[in-house]
Structure formats: structure tokens, C-alpha cells
Amino acid sequence: RDFNERCAQCSEVNWGLTDGGRFYCRSCHNITERTREVVNTDFITNSRVQTISKGLKKQEKNDGGCEWYICEGFQLVLKKQVEALEALGVCPQMKDEILCNFWRCYLQKSKQAYCKRPAGETVKALSVCESSTDVDSDPERPSLLHLLSLSESEGDLQTDCSFASSVSKVSESTSVYSGSVDGSLYLMKNQKEKLRMTMPMTLSFCYLALLWVREPITLSELLRFVVEGHIPYMNVFQHFPEKMKLCGLDLKIFCVESWPVYEEVFNKMHELAAFLDLPRFPDITESCFLHPDMLCMKYLMEANLPDELHNWTCRVVKKIGIGEVDFLTLMPGNKSTRKVKYDVLAAAVIVVVLKLLFLLDDHYEWLLSEFAEERNKNNTEGGPYFEFKKWYEVVKRSLDVEQKKLDEEKAKYLWRCEKPLFYSVKNKSKVLKRRQMVVNLQNQFGKLSGSVQRAEKPNPSSFQLSWSEENTDGSCFHGHSLKGVLQEKRGLLTAMNPDYWLCTVKLCNEKLCGHLAHYREVEFPQSYHFVLGLFSFLLRIQPSYIHDEVCMIEHRLFNKKLCKKLKYNTVLRK
């Protein structure tokens, strides 16, 4: 009652006392450095004794560990991931100004922190917070969130778990098989509606922040950097402090035994944006890297296709309006707008352009190749004509080599983490000794079998396939001409090919079956399948997702003709 200063965070005057004698704000749970001076006359008269905080003593367990909560573990994962992205060159503001605010908003929306705790409710992990009006609530316990804060300058990100000592009492009976306080409660079935945090969702958080600052990293690149080990994801819990003991259900939450899936991370990102109630994202304009025109240029270079194709991709993008700001910009919660996969959309545009010019029906493209080959033999001036057959052979050879390397790397990947896990101080020496013995045996068997030691991981690159025009073997097709497949008509260059085949006449309901169209390899030409496979490798996704975007673009491009055809078929049936 004697402490009447206003809180530095919320300006309220509503103070309580911790076990350690410090003042904390009951409104926002901010802890001050000010301590209460208590006069104790039990053992010394007329002497003042300043109480000492005992939170750290409560924190330590018999095995040397500390009380920690699942949200604290995920915050450490996010911190490691965003630091890795900063090392890759993203803007420093993404960590403190964007991702940290998204994370705080998530903690508040999911009622794990930054929320008022209604009195009288049962304490549950990830549930509504319980009011704390007495000294028993122990907000003095040093929170790991203070040590692992995404924004170190912002101070302590206290959670409701950090303030409720009664959570520990509940968790003693429910979280027996986990090192964290709320491990078992976290996996309760009734928590699914709260958008429970998972390891794939950490990547959704990162991509959401990258999209907000419009960094030149697509989702496919983000996931590829994860697979290549440039961004912590697999066995990331080995970077946790030693006092954070993981066992039982904690490993089920943080231990990942599969590679992140594009569709899962993408869908969770949109769910997360809607859950956080975020406003309209910054506009994706023509100068932005995520615009189809920019991404098409990148993928044309990586696919070793002629530069002249970029003019055609730009024409298609403009024709069907997929380069408009309102189409590309993310508007969370708006169900009328389509969820844009920027990288997949750009790859699909290139596939449609190749179909417009070369048809890709396993016949017409080979005829054009024979024609271009004859012209190249007699051509002494200008650049060579583009030969689809030669391009196919060069790219397929390189693609097979890279695909084999990728398959071997995945097969050799060690899913067990390098850092041994031990759950008690007594067993630590035994576990370390056993781990060292395993490493020594692996090295000895490796020498006997003659296996090559794993090389250091290469530096990350936006390009997986590189083609240099300086090569004299003619393996680079960037400067090749499209004169063999174009003709001038009314002052404009048009395709010599007057025909076009559609992947599907009628689109499926994406909400019902998950795809706009069904893709079976045997039902489509091999040339079309090869092109899909090429971009499938570059984006590390299934060909069916690119096929969906191709069908969407075709229906936008040939919408009038399709409507006439459908009406004509309806009349015939009648």
C-alpha cells in the first residue's frame, strides 16, 4: 500500500508481492527491481532485513534441470531459425520488429501470455490464465523467455505459466513423463482448436515474417535451406540449454522425423495469419522479387531456357491478370481471394508458355527440333536456334545427376541427433562414454570400408542448377533464338503452332478434393511430364501441385473459348 508509483508498462497502480519481496504489477505482470523492506523483530530488534529472492531455488530440480514450458522451447527454436535467416542476409528488422511481434500476438491470442487471467478458472497449459492475487503465485521465477527473448532489448516476455506456481502442482500429476511442466497438457485433444504450436508452424512463422518484409526468399527455398541444414529444424532441441531437460512427450513435440512438407507449411501459414488477425500485407508490386515476372526470369535461367521466353511469360501474366497487386498481396481472413503460391505460380506460367510454343505432345516439339537443327547447320550469322531435343538431353543428364545426389543425401541422413540426450546427472557420464564409443566405431568401420568422409556443407545458393554461357560445349541455351517457332503476324510475333491441348476441360472443387485437377503421369505426354518433373525438382514439391496451377492459368487464358465449348456441348446433349 505504501508503494504508489505507476507501472512503467501499463501506468496502473496495482501492485502485488512475490515470494522474494519484489513488487509486480497485477495488471500486466511487470516485475520491478524495487523490493519491499520488511522489519523483522523475531531475532534482532530494531534491524531491517531485506528479503532475498528464492525463485532460482524453486527453479532447480534434483537432476540439475529447471522448470520450463513448451512455449519457451518453441521460442528458442524461432530464435535459432531467425538468426540463421539473418546469417543468410535477410534484413535485421525481421527479427525484432516483425517476427517478435507475431510471436507475442500468438502468445496473447492463444492465451499463453500478455492476457488478463480470469479468477476462479482451473489452471491449464495453453488455456486461459488464472488470476494471481496473493504471494503464492511466484512471478519471481526466472523465466527462460527472458534469456531466450527474440528481442533482447524488450525485456522479459513473461508467460502466464511463469506466474502460476499452481501449474506446477497440476503438472506434477499430469506431466510425469515429460521434462517440461506442461508437456502432457499440451497434447490434450481439446487444445486443437487453439492452433497449437508445432515444429512445421515455426517455419510458417518464418515465412509469414519473410512475406511481410518481402524478402527474396520463396517458401520452396526456405524449405530447401532447412533440408540442406542452413536453417535449424531437424534435432533443433539439441541447442536447448542443458537445464531444459527433454524426455517423454517433449521429444514427441520437438523431435522431427520427417522433412517439412510444402503444403502443410503453406496452409498453416494462412491459418496463422487469420488467427493473428493480421492486416493486409505490404503490396507485391512489379519491382518485388515475388512478382511472377521476376520469378519467371529466375526459373528460366535455372531451367536453362532461352531468355526470349521471358517476353512471353510477361504477356501471359498480363493477359490473365495474375500480376495485379490485389491478386498477389496476402489479405488474411479474406476467403474470396486465392491463396497464391508465388514460386509454383511462376513455374506454371513457364510450363504454359512452353505448351503454347512447343505444344509438348511428344510429336510437334521434335519436329521443331529437327527444323532448328537444319537451320543451325546453315546458320552463320546471329545466335543459334533453340533446339528442344538438345535442351532435353542436356537438362535431363544434369537433372539425373542432381537427383541422384539428393536421393543419396537423404538416404545417408542421420536422424539421430549428434548431441546425446540424458535425463539425469547420474547417467551423464555413461551416456557420453557410450556415445563416444559409437563415434569411434563408426570412424573405424568407415576407414575399413573406404567410405569418403562427409564434406562440409556448401554455402547456400538460390540456384540449384547453374549454366554458364562461357562453356564451349553448347550446354547453355540462354542466348538461343526462338525464330524457329515464331512468325510475324500483323506486326506481332506469334507462335507458328496454332493448336493447344488443355490439361483438363473442367476444374475440380479444390475445397472438396484438395486439387483443381488430377494428375496421372500415364495420361499426359512424356515431354509435359519431364517439364513438370524439372520444376518439381527445383521447387521440391509434387508435380501435381504445379499441374494444378497450370490448369488454373489455362482456364483463365482460354476462358471465353471454354465457355463457348461448354455451351455447345450442352446444346448437343439437349
10-residue mean pLDDT series, the chain (574 residues): 74 75 74 62 42 40 70 92 94 91 91 61 36 33 40 38 40 52 72 78 96 95 94 87 79 87 95 94 95 96 95 95 95 87 97 95 93 84 88 95 90 74 63 77 74 65 81 79 86 84 78 71 92 96 93 87 51 38
Could you tell me if 393 and 485 lie in one domain?
yes
Q: Residue 272 falls within a domain, yes or no?
A: yes
pLDDT score, position 210 = 96
Could you tell me if 380 and 471 lie in one domain?
yes
Residue 23, beta-bridge partner list: 17
pLDDT score, position 64 = 57
Could you tell me if 255 and 378 lie in one domain?
no
pLDDT score, position 167 = 41
Q: What is the pTM of this model?
A: 0.77
Task: Give the chain's domain count.
Answer: 3
Could you tell me if 300 and 268 lie in one domain?
no
Q: Residue 564 falls within a domain, yes or no?
A: no
Which residue from 166, 69, 73 is spatially nearest to 117, judged by alpha carbons?
A: 166
Could you tell me if 302 and 371 lie in one domain?
yes
Contact 232, 170 (CB under 8 A): no
Contact 236, 80 (CB under 8 A): yes
Distance CA 104, CA 337 (A): 27
Could you tell me if 539 and 506 lie in one domain?
yes
- Beta-strand runs (E) in 415-548: 486-489, 492-495
Residue-number span of the structural domain to which 15 is assigned: 1-36
Q: Following DSSP, what letter does each residue of 237-287 receive, concatenated? A: GGGS-TTS---BHHHHHH---SPPPHHHHHHHHHHHHHHTT--PPPP--TT
Q: Residue 135 falls within a domain, yes or no?
A: no
Distance CA 6, CA 21 (A): 18
Q: Residue 129 falls within a domain, yes or no?
A: no
Torsion sign (Cα): 202, 69, 146, 137: positive
pLDDT score, position 561 = 64
Q: Residue 214 falls within a domain, yes or no?
A: yes
Contact 216, 394 (CB under 8 A): no
Question: 182-232: per-residue pLDDT in tens?
Answer: 777 777 755 555 788 999 999 999 999 999 999 999 999 999 999 998 999
pLDDT score, position 334 = 85
Q: Residue 183 falls within a domain, yes or no?
A: no
Could you tell me if 523 and 480 lie in one domain?
yes
Provide the 3-class DSSP secondary structure of residue 508: coil
Contacts of residue 82, defined as CB under 8 A and 6 or more positions apart, other chains included, come to 94, 95, 99, 150, 206, 209
Could you tell me if 27 and 99 lie in one domain?
no
pLDDT score, position 296 = 97
Q: Residue 78 falls within a domain, yes or no?
A: yes
Could you tell me if 274 and 296 lie in one domain?
no
Contacts of residue 307, defined as CB under 8 A and 6 or more positions apart, other chains included, come to 300, 478, 479
Contact 162, 149 (CB under 8 A): no
Could you tell me if 272 and 299 lie in one domain?
no
Could you tell me if 359 and 228 lie in one domain?
no
DSSP state of 117: -
Domain boundary among 233, 254, 278: 278
pLDDT score, position 177 = 53
Q: Residue 189 falls within a domain, yes or no?
A: no
pLDDT score, position 189 = 54
Distance CA 474, CA 427 (A): 62
Could you tell me if 271 and 317 lie in one domain?
no
